[in-house]
């Protein structure tokens, strides 16, 4: 039983009376069991482990062709530009965020808006990482999401009224937040985004009821972590023990490693899993060393923020291979033994299976067709760098363009932010991946803030003429690619899979697609009118199975262009939320014919 201020308790009950459909509070138990409860989706990842797997099979390979749109909802205004959010569902109400730090509650039966909230962003804000938002969290009577100016906003989930707003980091120093926060054991957990302005990544916990900070854990070696008691910061150990072990000079002070994609949680090991971005500065020759904990996965204690273990995917990163991609907990049997594993598909092109109890490396293998920067992984999962695979030091070739180095995958990664899914029935991961390479060269002349500068030029290009995106079914036990589905444009949307032997994802061409989880056969497609870069969910309501996905082309791909621009330049932006269901009569007919 958590204690609540009496005043708020009163306000909450007053509101509860006022709301006709009698919405209930979201509890810790609801969130912890989210992956087992098919009538709601109350966490990012459809369960804290982030498997994005539903045990629903009303909708399945036999009847998915009858999936029908039931309503669509416009996010409104000219603010389109990339809808990367995942909806949440509770008691017949859908909660979703949209680009430019907006949030909505929608009647899930009719598509009618209940409330809308638009964060007031400060003038002159320069978010590093586009204006997208990836979703929110439900807790108690609150809907909580983060904004481009690096604030957490808690709204009353029934009215949309602001309950509290807290600054996580200063946007003027280059911080932003686009990821969905998560709720773990009554704590609100968030990371931060940041560009090349000398920021330092961190993971923080807040009291979801009040917005009070509970602990902070920097993700660069040498920085002190804190826990907060009665508003007082108490030193709680330096990340990595001490400064300067894997960084030269004082570079750890501005080391980067932003935690921009949020994290997952595994209740069995009681660990938060957060990934970290690339180290700063971008030129790897300036910072010899592993540069911990950049481009890594961290297991963090949710109670106090201490780091339990780390696994670094790209030491001394020189290709912008952020290590932020989600680490998904799963189990498999080997020689009669249950292995508590976790898997991640990294920007750098390797798929890693780790022992999630201690972070040790079980196996790793390429999940893309070609990797140029490394020859492979050693016994500990550390990359074996290829000769000549690292971009040259611009200092060695000032004033000349220099020979470009071809690196594959491109900096946008074999897989970027878009979450993969794990199907407990098939035992396969469904990975939205891309086949592209980049040329990097030393920029002969470059300026920054009125001063001469030394930059690198790069261009991103498709690895094949016919396709960039590849949705892959990958067996984590063998590294085998069980099936693949190629897509002309790069895939940028999340994946969801079900016990109905289905895999759902969207394409920049605008389609929501469903595939047979075992064969990869495409069974369903629906054109949503703009590119799908959101992540689908599924749930049941009134005995019918629903699917929802946000549509609206945007995100990083159109920002970077390069030769990929040829493929995507004609895609129009958008801002719609689509909801589908399998009509009851079709489902009944299907059951009858079995």
Partner 1 sequence: MLLIRCFTALLLVMSTFANANELVLERAPERTYDIVIESGYLNVGVYRDFPPYSYEKDGKPVGVDIDIGKRIAEGLGVEFRIHWIIPDETLEDDLRNNVWKGHYLAKRRIADVMMRVPYDKQYAYMRDSTGEVINDQVVMFGPYHQEQWQIAYDPNDIDSVGTMAVFQYHPIGVEIDTLPETYLTSAFGGRLRDKTHHFANIGQAFQAMEAGEVSAVMGMRAEIDHELGIHSEHGFVAASNGFPGMGKQVWDVGMAVKHTHRQLGYAIEEIVDRMVREGEMAEIFERHGLRYSMPGFYEEILNDVDEDS
* Residues annotated as catalytic (active site), given as ranges: 320
Which residue has tokens 């991609």? 325
Please, which residue, 161 or 253, has the CB nearer to partner 1?
A: 253
Residue 83, class by beta-carbon neighbours within 10 Å (0-12 exposed, 13-18 middle, 19+ buried)?
buried
String of contacts with partner 1 for each residue 18-57, x by CB under 8 A = ----------------------------------------
What per-residue string of b and e applies to 117-127 under the rule 16 or more CB within 10 Å gives b? bebebeeeeeb
Please, which residue, 246 or 344, has the CB nearer to partner 1?
A: 246
Q: Cα separation of 524 and 504, whole Å?
A: 9
Q: Of 20, 36, 123, 592, which one interacts with partner 1 (CB under 8 A)?
A: 123
Site residues (CB under 8 A) for partner 1, limited to 465-484: none
Kindly state whether residue 339 participates in binding partner 1, applying the rule CB under 8 A. Answer: no
Q: Of 287, 390, 415, 581, which one interacts with partner 1 (CB under 8 A)?
A: 287
What per-residue string of b and e applies to 198-229 under the rule 16 or more CB within 10 Å gives b? ebbbbbbbbbbbebebbbbbbbbbbbebbbbe
Q: Cα separation of 251 and 66, whole Å?
A: 57
Site residues (CB under 8 A) for partner 1, limited to 184-223: 195-198
Q: Of 2, 447, 588, 589, which one interacts with partner 1 (CB under 8 A)?
A: 447
Residue 390 three-state SS: coil
DSSP category for residue 202:
E
Please, which residue, 442 or 548, has the CB nearer to partner 1?
A: 442
Q: Of 62, 475, 563, 590, which one interacts with partner 1 (CB under 8 A)?
A: 563
Count the site residues for partner 1 by CB under 8 A. Answer: 50
Please, which residue, 120 or 594, has the CB nearer to partner 1?
A: 120
- The torsion angles phi and psi of 265, rounded to 5 degrees, stand at -140, 140
CB of 385 to partner 1, least distance (A): 18
Q: CA 22, 87, 261, 352: dihedral to nearest 10 degrees?
A: 110
CB of 222 to partner 1, least distance (A): 13
String of contacts with partner 1 for each residue 236-275, x by CB under 8 A = ------------xxxx-xx---------------------
Site residues (CB under 8 A) for partner 1, limited to 575-594: none
Which residue has tokens 């938002």? 133
Kindly state whether residue 170 participates in binding partner 1, applying the rule CB under 8 A. Answer: no
Please, which residue, 65 or 396, has the CB nearer to partner 1?
A: 396
Kindly state whether residue 454 participates in binding partner 1, applying the rule CB under 8 A. Answer: yes
Residues 6+ apart with CB under 8 A from 471: 430, 431, 432, 433, 484, 485, 487, 491, 495, 503, 505, 515, 520
Phi-psi region of 23 (alpha: psi -120 to 50; beta: other; left: phi over 0): beta
Scanning 8-16, 284-292, 338-346, 414-422 for contacts with partner 1 by CB under 8 A, the matching segment is: 284-292
CB of 287 to partner 1, least distance (A): 8
CB of 335 to partner 1, least distance (A): 49
CB of 100 to partner 1, least distance (A): 8
The CA distances from residue 62 to 28, 430, 503, 547, 549, in Å, are 36, 20, 13, 16, 21
Kindly state whether residue 231 participates in binding partner 1, applying the rule CB under 8 A. Answer: no
Kindly state whether residue 573 participates in binding partner 1, applying the rule CB under 8 A. Answer: no
Please, which residue, 395 or 591, has the CB nearer to partner 1?
A: 395
Q: What angle do CA 566, 570, 572 make, to 5 degrees?
A: 140
How do strand 175-176 and strand 162-167 relate by DSSP bridges? unpaired
Residues 6+ apart with CB under 8 A from 42: 26, 30, 31, 34, 88, 89, 90, 138
Kindly state whether residue 463 participates in binding partner 1, applying the rule CB under 8 A. Answer: no
Q: Of 3, 231, 335, 449, which one interacts with partner 1 (CB under 8 A)?
A: 449
| Cβ atoms 440, 407 nearer than 8 A | yes
Alpha carbon 493 to its chain centroid, in Å, reads 10
Q: Cα separation of 240 and 221, whole Å?
A: 5
Binding site residues, partner 1, CB under 8 A: 78, 81, 100, 121, 123-127, 131, 173, 195-198, 248-251, 253-254, 280-281, 283, 285-288, 393-395, 398-399, 439, 444-455, 457, 459, 562-563
């Amino acid at each position: 039983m958590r204690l609540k201020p009496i005043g708020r308790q009163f306000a909450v009950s007053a509101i509860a009376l006022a709301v006709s459909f009698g919405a209930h509070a979201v509890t810790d138990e609801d969130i912890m069991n989210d992956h087992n409860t098919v009538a709601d989706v109350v966490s990012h990842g459809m369960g804290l482990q982030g498997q994005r797997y539903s045990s629903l099979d009303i909708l399945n390979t036999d009847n998915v062709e009858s999936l029908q749109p039931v309503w669509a909802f416009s996010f409104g205004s000219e603010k389109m530009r990339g809808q990367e959010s995942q909806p949440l569902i509770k008691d017949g109400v859908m909660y979703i965020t949209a680009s430019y730090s907006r949030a909505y509650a929608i009647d899930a039966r009719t598509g009618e808006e209940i409330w809308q909230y638009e964060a007031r962003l400060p003038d002159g804000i320069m978010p590093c990482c586009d204006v997208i938002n990836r979703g929110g969290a439900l807790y108690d009577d609150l809907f909580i999401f983060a904004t481009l100016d690096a604030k957490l906003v808690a709204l009353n989930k029934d009215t949309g009224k602001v309950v509290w707003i807290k600054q996580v980091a200063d946007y003027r120093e280059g911080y932003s937040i686009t990821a969905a926060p998560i709720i773990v054991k009554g704590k609100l957990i968030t990371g931060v985004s940041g560009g090349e302005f000398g920021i330092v990544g961190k993971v923080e916990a807040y009291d979801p009821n009040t917005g009070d900070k509970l602990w902070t854990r920097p993700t660069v070696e040498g920085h002190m972590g804190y826990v907060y008691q009665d508003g007082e910061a108490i030193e709680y150990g330096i990340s990595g023990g001490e400064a300067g072990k894997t960084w030269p000079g004082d570079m750890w002070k501005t080391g980067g490693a932003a935690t921009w994609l949020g994290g997952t949680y595994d209740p069995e090991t009681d660990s938060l899993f957060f990934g970290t971005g690339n180290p700063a500065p971008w030129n790897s020759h300036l910072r010899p060393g592993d540069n911990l904990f950049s481009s890594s996965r961290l297991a963090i204690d949710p109670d106090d923020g201490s780091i339990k273990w780390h696994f670094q995917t790209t030491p001394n990163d020189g290709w912008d291979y952020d290590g932020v991609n989600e680490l998904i907990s799963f189990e498999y049997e080997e020689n009669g033994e249950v292995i508590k594993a976790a898997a991640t598909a990294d920007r750098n092109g390797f798929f890693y299976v780790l022992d999630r109890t201690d972070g040790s490396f079980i196996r790793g293998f390429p999940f893309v067709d070609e990797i140029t920067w490394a020859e492979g992984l050693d016994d500990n999962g550390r990359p074996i760098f290829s000769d000549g695979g690292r971009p040259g030091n611009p200092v060695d070739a000032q004033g000349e363009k220099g020979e470009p180095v071809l690196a594959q995958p491109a900096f946008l990664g074999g897989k970027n932010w878009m979450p993969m899914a794990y199907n407990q029935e098939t035992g396969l991961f469904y990975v939205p991946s891309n086949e592209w390479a980049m040329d990097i060269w030393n920029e002969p002349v470059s300026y920054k803030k009125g001063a001469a500068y030394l930059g690198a030029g790069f261009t991103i290009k498709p690895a094949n003429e016919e396709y960039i995106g590849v949705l892959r079914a990958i067996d984590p036990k063998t590294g085998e690619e069980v099936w693949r589905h190629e897509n002309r444009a790069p895939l940028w949307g999340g994946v969801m899979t079900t016990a109905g032997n289905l895999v759902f994802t969207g394409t920049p061409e605008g389609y929501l697609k469903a595939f047979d989880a075992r064969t990869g056969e495409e069974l369903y497609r629906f054109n949503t009118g703009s590119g799908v870069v959101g992540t689908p969910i599924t749930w049941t309501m009134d005995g019918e199975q629903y699917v929802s996905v946000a549509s609206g082309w945007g995100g990083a791909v159109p920002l970077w262009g390069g030769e990929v621009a040829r493929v995507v330049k004609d895609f129009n932006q958008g801002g719609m939320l689509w909801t589908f269901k399998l009509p009851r009569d079709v489902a009944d007919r299907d059951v009858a014919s079995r």
